[in-house]
C-alpha cells in the first residue's frame, strides 16, 4: 500500500509540475474498445465499448507530457418489459440493467511535439470502478428519463499500465506562427493500445441477477480485472 501511495504521489508531482510550466496543452475524445484478459475474460466473455476524455500538458522543450484520463465502458446490457406493479399489470415499464466500468488514471507520456506522425509510449496509474445499475423507464416517454434506479453492486481496484500509440496531424493553424509568442492550434487523429493491470474486484455480468418468487439474488464474480483497451479519436492541441 505504501508503494502505491509513493508511486501515485510521484505521478501527481510530475502532473502538477508539468501543468504549471506547460506552454502547450492537448485535450481529446476517444472511442474505446476494452478486451478483458485472463480470468476476467473467462468470467465475462465479451468486450466492453465506450469512450474516454483526457487532458494533457506538455513540458516546454521536452517530449515529456503528463495528464489525466477518465473513460467508461459498458460490458453488459439487459432490457425487459415488466408490469408497473402487481396491482396494475396493464401498465408496463422498461427495466434496463447495465454493467459498467469507469477507468480513471494519471499518466506520463514521451512524445515528440512536432511532426506529421508523432509516436509515443507512456505509463499510467489509477483506479477501475465497476458497477451494475438497474433503472426503470416509461416505455412511452420521449425524454428517456429514469423513473427510478439502483446500484446493484459496485467495487473498485487499483490499476496501472503502459501504452503505445501515435498521433497523426490533420490540421494546423498557421495564422499565428509569425507572431512574437507563437500559439498554434492543431487537430490530430490519435490511436493507442493500453494494457491495464487492474487488481481484484467483485462485479456482476449479464445473467448475474436472478429473480425467483419475488426475490433477487446476485451471482457475484471476483477476480483480477486485467484488460487491453484500444482507443481511437481526435485530439486538439493548443
Region for 17 from its dihedrals, namely left if φ exceeds 0, alpha if ψ lies in -120 to 50, beta otherwise = alpha
Q: With cut-offs at 50, 70 and 90, classify the pLDDT of residue 139.
A: confident
Reported as a single tens digit per residue, the pLDDT across 179-216 is 554 568 999 999 999 999 999 999 999 989 988 877 88
pLDDT recorded at residue 222:
97
pLDDT above 70 for 1:
no
Check: CB of residue 231 under 8 Å from CB of residue 192. yes
How confident is the model at residue 83, as a pLDDT?
A: 83
CATH code for the domain in which residue 25 is found: 2.40.160.20
Once rounded to an integer, what is the mean pLDDT over residues 130-151?
84
Say what the pTM is: 0.85
Q: 131 with 98: CB under 8 angstroms?
A: no
32-49 average pLDDT score: 96
DSSP H or E run through 41: helix 38-44
Residue 180: half-sphere exposure toward Cβ, Cα within 13 Å: 0
DSSP codes of every residue in 156-192? EEEEEEEEEEEEEEEEE--TTTTSSS----EEEEEEE
Structural domain including 70 reads 2-237
**Domain count of the fold of the chain:** 1
Amino acid at each position: 500500500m505504501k508503494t502505491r501511495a509513493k508511486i501515485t504521489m510521484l505521478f501527481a508531482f510530475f502532473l502538477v509540475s508539468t501543468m504549471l510550466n506547460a506552454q502547450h496543452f492537448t485535450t481529446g475524445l476517444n472511442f474505446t474498445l476494452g478486451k478483458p484478459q485472463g480470468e476476467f475474460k473467462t468470467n465475462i466473455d465479451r468486450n466492453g465499448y465506450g469512450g474516454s476524455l483526457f487532458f494533457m500538458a506538455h513540458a516546454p522543450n521536452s517530449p515529456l507530457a503528463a495528464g489525466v484520463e477518465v473513460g467508461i465502458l459498458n460490458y453488459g446490457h439487459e432490457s425487459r418489459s415488466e408490469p408497473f406493479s402487481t396491482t396494475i399489470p396493464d401498465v408496463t415499464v422498461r427495466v434496463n440493467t447495465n454493467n459498467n466500468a469507469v477507468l480513471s488514471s494519471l499518466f506520463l507520456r514521451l512524445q515528440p511535439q512536432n511532426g506529421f506522425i508523432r509516436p509515443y509510449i507512456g505509463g499510467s496509474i489509477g483506479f477501475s470502478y465497476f458497477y451494475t445499475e438497474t433503472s426503470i423507464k416509461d416505455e412511452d416517454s420521449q425524454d428517456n428519463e429514469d423513473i427510478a434506479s439502483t446500484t446493484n453492486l459496485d467495487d473498485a481496484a487499483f490499476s496501472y499500465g503502459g501504452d503505445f500509440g501515435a498521433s497523426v496531424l490533420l490540421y494546423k493553424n498557421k495564422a499565428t506562427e509569425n507572431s512574437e509568442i507563437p500559439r498554434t492550434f492543431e487537430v490530430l487523429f490519435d490511436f493507442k493500445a493500453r494494457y491495464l493491470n487492474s487488481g481484484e474486484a467483485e462485479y456482476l455480468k449479464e445473467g448475474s441477477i436472478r429473480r425467483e418468487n419475488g426475490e433477487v439474488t446476485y451471482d457475484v464474480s471476483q477476480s483480477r480485472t486485467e484488460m487491453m483497451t484500444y482507443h481511437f479519436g481526435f485530439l486538439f492541441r493548443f
